[in-house]
Amino acid sequence: MKLDRILPFARLLLEKAVHPGDIAVDGTMGNGFDTAFLANLTGENGQVYSFDIQKEALENTRAKLVNEGLIKQCTLIHAGHELLSTYIKPEHAGKITGAIFNLGYLPGGDKSIITQAETTKTAIEQLFNHLAPEGIIILVIYHGHPGGSQERDALMDYVQSFPQEKAHILKYGFINQANHPPFIVAIEKR
């Protein structure tokens, strides 16, 4: 298959946006796969801020990062991404080049703990203010689980009305797959 699947496409965009020494954000740390991916892009001279509300996610991610020699450049934050602004160091304000929010529930964890439209929107708003020009926020939107369609609809309303002079926003997804396939929304600051 020549077309990029969803997660490879998200990573392709992050590779374009995040370079050694950069500042990046993983809005939903989960089991740490995206944090590790970003930490490889920023290298030791950059920094990745990662958020999750579940202790289990922090424990799994910390173990993964230590094992892969990536912990030095990561700040793991046990708090909701809606509090992002309070955790970004002043010297990193306006310097974030890439961010990802893999929405939904923790794979292998409690499926009732899901990301919520209002807190996700708050996080995007705060993060957008901290983005560098041409910085990218990627939302991977899962909408097959209970509560997923409400978050999808609220986020789509939000991004579709986002001022076009402030950002380029695209949607990428397969349109003939069964079972509510996830899709991507990418927001690039102008």
- Provide, rounded to whole angstroms, the least separation between the CB of residue 120 and ligand SAM: 7
- Provide, rounded to whole angstroms, the least separation between the CB of residue 37 and ligand SAM: 8
Residue placing its CB nearer to ligand SAM in the complex, 118 or 190 = 118
Residue placing its CB nearer to ligand SAM in the complex, 104 or 135 = 104
Strand order from edge to edge, sheet including 167-172:
74-78, 47-52, 23-26, 96-102, 131-141, 183-189, 167-172
> How many angstroms separate the CA atoms of 132 and 92, rounded?
10
Residue placing its CB nearer to ligand SAM in the complex, 113 or 156 = 113
Residues of this chain that bind ligand SAM (CB under 6 A):
28, 30-34, 51-54, 57, 80-82, 102, 104-106, 113, 115, 119
- Provide, rounded to whole angstroms, the least separation between the CB of residue 27 and ligand SAM: 6
> How many angstroms separate the CA atoms of 183 and 17, rounded?
19
- Provide, rounded to whole angstroms, the least separation between the CB of residue 28 and ligand SAM: 3
Q: Which two tokens stand for residue 142?
A: 């899962």
Residue placing its CB nearer to ligand SAM in the complex, 54 or 75 = 54
Those residues whose C-beta lies under 8 Å from the C-beta of residue 130, and which sit 6 or more positions away, are 84, 85, 88, 92, 93, 94, 95, 96
